[in-house]
Amino acid sequence: MSTDSVNKQIARGAAWMVGFKMLDNALGLISTLVLARMLAPQDFGLVSMSMVLLAAMTLLMSFSFDIQLIQNPNAGRDHFDTAWTFNVMFATGCGILMVLLAPATAAFYREPRLETILYVMAAGFVLQGFSNIGTVKFRRDMRFDREFKFLLSKRMSSLLVTIPLAIYLRNYWALVIGQLAGTVLSLVMSYVVSSYRPRFSLAAKGEMFHGSAWLMVNNFIHFLHNRAPTFVIARLSGAGSVGVYSIAAEISLLPSNELVAPINRAAFPGYAKAAHDMDKLRDSFLKVIASIALIALPAGIGIVSVAELLVPAALGWKWKDAIPIIQLLAVYGIIKALQTNIGYIYLVLGMTKRITLITSIQVLIQTSALIPAVYYYGPQGAAWSYLGTSILLIPLNQYLVAQCLSLSSTRFCRELMRPLIASLAMMAVVVAIKSQLVLRQETLDYLLALLLCAATGALVYVVMMYLLWRMAGQPQGAEEFAFRRVQGMLGKVGIRLKLVS
């Protein structure tokens, strides 16, 4: 398969998945804002505490079978059925373990309400294990249109249950029951959207477990990386602080990481097809990084710029402590977004040990800083520990991927310069506008100011990106793809504007 063919498949897949994520994030943001208005930080904190144990159980069954099924072009029914059988077995076992650990977990956090929550979470965990493994074929065959519909149905099912429950109950049970209902509906949908019908089998058990050890170790380290703040904050500062941190993390990482995740999801099968040719793989990687920068840089810098307006306008003043955390984590989100795709390169080249090594170093530094940071500075200290660690590891990450792909740092950085310059110009304009605003402590004032800054910032970014791209000679890549799509959409509504030569 040619480089252009692989890149086109990645681009189409990324377009589908970014489209889904834009819609998914819009729905998720609406849900978060509505729930944050109706529920207290302590409600979100309680659910976040329970998610630590839920994530730990997920870790016990994290054999990454989906990655193996995507990587192996010869994977057949035996492989899919074996993966599904293991999912069912481990989910059931882990669900029982959750029930047994629920009383001790509630006692550790000094939160008796957690015990009943964990019983409900355990039921959902077991049900999730029965999800149809056939949906993995959507990614393997790069049928992202079908995965789009499946993922959207999962989001909608949860949303349509949780918000009405929050209006009626006005407490954390809306989040808990909503999540369980979403799990049940997504289980049903997995069998509706895929005609594959799994059956119990262990015919490929030896082959499926081959190579899983390092992936499991890596997943364990990722668990420590992702859940350590919740665990430490909950123990040292209580449910309210956990709630503030979790909402701040969700908002700050939503645009950069969540919009980038579908690009990575679409890129992985393309990388797997190009893994045998280093030139093709390097070219695909650079195009993916350019696409990520095009989204992550303006999203993260934009969040930093408007956080002081966003929190009072969208969440309310009871969440004001989240403002500095959102700003710190938004910068962290940019760095993470630009680095996370490197791991997929190591995966397709079979370098899972390298992923584990790098993540271990990150978690070791981060955890060493996390406990004292939270002890002295609360949730904001946790955000500082994450941001500081990610900055420290940039040189190591860049050196290793450059060595792996025979890639110069100059060529990598060149993919970032135009989005970075345009994003900084956007930030300068937004800060200038904010400095001229006189706001009363009313939601409407902050909402109007937020809309003004967001619209102006988006316009400045797009115009600057276009001018910089034209000045660079209209190079092929993510920008050309984006402007060509815009040109096509404008043409459909009767606006004849030639953006791309």
pLDDT at residue 323 greater than cutoff 70: yes
- Tell me the average pLDDT across 308-319: 88
pLDDT of residue 40: 79
pLDDT at residue 281 greater than cutoff 90: no
Give the range with max mean pLDDT: 77-86, 96-105, 169-178, 420-429: 420-429
CB 373 within 8 A of CB 384: yes
- What is the chain's mean pLDDT, rounded? 82
What is the tens place of the pLDDT at every residue in 38-84? 777 888 888 888 887 887 777 666 666 676 776 666 777 888 888 88
Comparing 174 with 226, the larger pLDDT belongs to 174
pLDDT of residue 73: 66
- Tell me the average pLDDT across 442-451: 88
- Tell me the average pLDDT across 75-100: 88
pLDDT at residue 424 greater than cutoff 90: yes
Portion of the chain with pLDDT greater than 90, in percent: 23
Token pair for residue 94?
Answer: 């882990």
pLDDT of residue 27: 65
pLDDT of residue 412: 83
pTM above 0.85, yes or no: no
pLDDT at residue 272 greater than cutoff 80: no
CB 219 within 8 A of CB 358: no
Comparing 347 with 368, the larger pLDDT belongs to 368
| Closest among 379, 264, 248 to 14, alpha carbons compared | 264
pLDDT of residue 450: 94
In angstroms, rounded to a whole number, what is the distance separating the alpha carbons of residues 174 and 402? 47
What is the tens place of the pLDDT at every residue in 119-148? 999 999 899 889 888 887 776 665 656 666
- Spell out the alpha helix ranges (H) of 61-112: 65-71, 77-109
pLDDT of residue 111: 86
CB 355 within 8 A of CB 218: yes
Written as one string, the DSSP assignment of 419-458 is: HHHHHHHHHHHHHHHHHT----S-HHHHHHHHHHHHHHHH
Portion of the chain with pLDDT greater than 70, in percent: 83
| Closest among 20, 9, 498, 11 to 258, alpha carbons compared | 20
Query: Taking the CB of residue 380, how many other CB atoms lie within 10 A of it?
Result: 22
Comparing 74 with 321, the larger pLDDT belongs to 321
In angstroms, rounded to a whole number, what is the distance separating the alpha carbons of residues 401 and 121? 39
pLDDT at residue 410 greater than cutoff 70: yes
pLDDT of residue 12: 53
pLDDT at residue 331 greater than cutoff 90: yes
Name residue 300's amino acid. G
pLDDT of residue 327: 95
How distant, in Å, are the alpha carbons of 20, 92, 141, 144, 293 from that of 274? Answer: 25, 38, 15, 19, 22
- Tell me the average pLDDT across 272-276: 77
pLDDT of residue 309: 93
Sign, CA torsion 47/50/55/58: negative
pLDDT at residue 20 greater than cutoff 60: no
CB 473 within 8 A of CB 480: no
Comparing 292 with 216, the larger pLDDT belongs to 292
pLDDT of residue 81: 87
Sign, CA torsion 424/426/428/434: negative
- Tell me the average pLDDT across 138-167: 71
pLDDT at residue 112 greater than cutoff 80: yes
pLDDT of residue 297: 93
CB 172 within 8 A of CB 47: yes
- Tell me the average pLDDT across 255-271: 72
pLDDT of residue 213: 57
Token pair for residue 218?
Answer: 């890596």
pLDDT at residue 190 greater than cutoff 70: yes
pLDDT of residue 256: 62
